[in-house]
C-alpha cells in the first residue's frame, strides 16, 4: 500500500506541470442581454453596444489581442434565433455553426 502512494505522489507533479503549460482558450461570446448586444467573456458581460456589428467588432479586436499574445481564441455569435456561429479573426461573415 505504501508503494502505491509513493508512485502516485511522484506522478502527480508531472500531471500538474503538463496542465499548466496549456493555457485555456479565450472565449468571446456576442450575446443579446437585457435588450442590448454585449460581449460575454470570463463570465462577465461588457457594456452595451449600439448594434450587433459594434459588438462583433469589439469581440474580434479583443480576440486579436489575445491571439497576438499566443493564446488560442474563439469568437462566437449567439444569434437571437438560437443558432451559434463561430467567427474567424479576419472579420469575415460567420461561416460555420458551432457545436455546442
Give 18-38 pLDDT, tens digit per residue.
445 678 999 999 999 999 999
> Is 17 domain-assigned?
no
- pLDDT category of residue 97 using cuts at 50, 70 and 90: low
Q: Which domain holds residue 39?
A: 23-97
User: Which residue's entry shows cell 489575445?
Assistant: 66
> Is 84 domain-assigned?
yes
Domain total of the chain: 1
> Is 39 domain-assigned?
yes
> Is 45 domain-assigned?
yes
In order, the DSSP letters of 58-86 are: HHHHHHHHHHHTT--EEEEEE-TTS-EEE
> Is 77 domain-assigned?
yes
> Is 40 domain-assigned?
yes
- pLDDT category of residue 93 using cuts at 50, 70 and 90: low
> Is 36 domain-assigned?
yes
User: Which residue's entry shows cell 500531471?
Assistant: 15
Amino acid at each position: 500500500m505504501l508503494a502505491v502512494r509513493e508512485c502516485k505522489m511522484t506522478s502527480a507533479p508531472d500531471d500538474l506541470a503538463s496542465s499548466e503549460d496549456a493555457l485555456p482558450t479565450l472565449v468571446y461570446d456576442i450575446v443579446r442581454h437585457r435588450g442590448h448586444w454585449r460581449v460575454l467573456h470570463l463570465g462577465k458581460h461588457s457594456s452595451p453596444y449600439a448594434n450587433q456589428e459594434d459588438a462583433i467588432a469589439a469581440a474580434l479586436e479583443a480576440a486579436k489581442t489575445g491571439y497576438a499574445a499566443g493564446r488560442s481564441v474563439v469568437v462566437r455569435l449567439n444569434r437571437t434565433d438560437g443558432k451559434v456561429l463561430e467567427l474567424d479573426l479576419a472579420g469575415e461573415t460567420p461561416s460555420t455553426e458551432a457545436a455546442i
